[in-house]
Amino acid sequence: MSGPRVRFAPSPTGYFHVGSARTSLFNWLFARRHGGTFILRIEDTDTERNREEWVEGILSAMAWLGMDPDEGPYRQSERAGRYAAALDALWEGGHLYACECTRAQVEDRTRGNQTPGYDGYCRDRGLGREGRALRFRVPDEGATVVSDLVRGEVRFPHAAMEDFVVAKSSGQPLFVLANVVDDRDMAISHVIRGEDLLPSAPKGILLWRALDAVGVSAGGAGAVAGAGAGADRAGGPPEHPLPAFAHLPMLVNERRQKLSKRRDPVAVEMYRDQGFLPEAFRNYLALLGWSPPGGAEKVDVGTLIGAFRLEEVHHAPAFFDVQKLTHLNGEYLRELPLDRFVAACRPWVAPRAGEWAPASGGPPWPPERFDDATFAAIAPMVQERVATLGEVPGMVDFLFLEDPALDEASWAKAVGGDPEAGGILQAAAAAYRTCEWSPEALHRVTGELAEAAGRRLAKAQAPIRVAVTGRSVGPPLFESLFLLGRDEVLRRIGAALRRLGHQAPEATAG
């Protein structure tokens, strides 16, 4: 077993964030590129904020994007013994001290200080650890250097680092501690994560070295099952070589700020609901902070894997541009073979019980009115007009709704505001009653009645479209009329004429 070992370590405190998805993708790409191992670790030490349903969400979103982990999910909540052992050893080795200061006390004491953060008040008070927070004793002198594959060497002077807390007064380990213990136990070779974690990297390194110094090794009863990480360590050189770091640029909103769960649309689940294809979404994510060589942007996953290099990752934050994502999704949609496009539409047009369907709700028509053959016939024309699958129902609803909603603005413009609309509708009704029922014949006779009315077909079709579909835009008209059927088309034109105040054609004719 060789190759790098990387991990994606989300904490389940909400929907799956697009930034997390990008981090996960870059880890996954890196592992695949180098024949390594992609590990999923759930960082759920904060019992207050974690919920099991969010774990499910992470798992299903990752599966949707095709990033199945090779190992895991491991859960920090199941590894408490490892953290306790590390804490004990660190305490014995003198790297930790107990602290009973409250936040308010620290603030009072340090107000006006040049270097903020904890002032080391409890450092030499010799407090017992029971019931107290534990702080790591940061060296006074020197600096810790983080070797970063994307940023180079980043130097953090110890003088500017506070003695950080590694365990709560309840004994619960905190992020840096658990994170480092896990990375050691799981023999992580590359830590690839968001740039927001760069300032905590030197803390992790300090802890890592302290753990080495006090002889905490991986393996043993509490180590990771099946990871193969801690086995047979006897006599090897450094037991725990420090992992390489790679801090990825942030994903930001239009205000250039880190994407926020509150303000920004960041839930991957939401994009799935809207009808983005996983291939397209993954492709777009790969373009944020990196670009495949050769300038191509729409690239398949194999190409992504073959070309991915951490060293080429950008340094500057990237804006998550839904418009560009949408365009790319449209390209993926359009290149789908028709049968696959139709299949991809199913959750939005005819969801099956027991299968995934968008949480936003089902199609606007009653299921029994949906017809597979009709949908398959209109599908090619829908395929080149939508950029997301979620737009599909709105484009074909007039075919499956008894009485499609009438868009008042369209009506006002194309029918109410057109003095000749009534005449055109009557002419259409007359022609459609007897003509051959095919898209071609409908096209022809409508062209003829347009000519008779002295206007271009483009202008003549507008009132007919609004009368029949309720809107001024939609799939090509004559195919739509054909699929709706003669009786239904005549009924809707008749209804529109009555709305206009005209006599229904049946009455005039009869």
Partner RNA sequence: GGCCCCAUCGUCUAGAGGCCAAGGACACCACCCUCUCAAGGUGGAGACACGGGUUCGAAUCCCGUUGGGGCUGCCA
Instruction: Choose the catalytic residue: 168, 203, 258, 261.
Output: 261
Say whether residue 277 binds RNA (CB under 7 A): no
| H or E element in which residue 31 lies | helix 18-33
Q: How far apart are CA 242 and CA 210, in angstroms?
A: 12
Stretch that binds RNA, among 219-227, 368-376, 426-434, 453-461 (CB under 7 A): 453-461
Binding to RNA (CB under 7 A) within 11-30 occurs at: 11
**Burial of 447 from C-beta contacts in 10 A (0-12 / 13-18 / 19+):** middle
Closest to 66 measured CA to CA, from 362, 334, 350, 286:
286
Nearer to RNA by C-beta: 60 or 326? 326
Stretch that binds RNA, among 225-233, 401-409, 420-428, 469-477 (CB under 7 A): 469-477
* Shortest distance in whole angstroms from residue 167 CB to RNA: 8
Say whether residue 360 binds RNA (CB under 7 A): no
* Shortest distance in whole angstroms from residue 91 CB to RNA: 16
Q: How far apart are CA 183 and CA 205, in angstroms?
A: 11
Say whether residue 90 binds RNA (CB under 7 A): no
Say whether residue 99 binds RNA (CB under 7 A): yes
Q: How far apart are CA 295 and CA 74, in angstroms?
A: 38
Q: How far apart are CA 65 and CA 225, in angstroms?
A: 26
Nearer to RNA by C-beta: 369 or 456? 456
Binding to RNA (CB under 7 A) within 212-271 occurs at: 249-250, 252, 255-258
Residue 99 three-state SS:
strand
Nearer to RNA by C-beta: 189 or 461? 461
Closest to 364 measured CA to CA, from 373, 351, 377:
351
Q: Could you tell me how many residues make up the chain?
A: 510
Binding to RNA (CB under 7 A) within 31-70 occurs at: 43, 45-46, 49
Nearer to RNA by C-beta: 207 or 504? 207
Q: How far apart are CA 58 and CA 64, in angstroms?
A: 10
* Shortest distance in whole angstroms from residue 146 CB to RNA: 8
Q: How many CB atoms lie within 10 A of CB 132?
A: 18
Say whether residue 151 binds RNA (CB under 7 A): yes
What track of x and - describes contact with RNA for positions 161 through 190 (by CB under 7 A)? -x--x--xxx-x-xxx--------------
Q: Is 324 a catalytic residue?
A: no
Residues involved in catalysis? 261
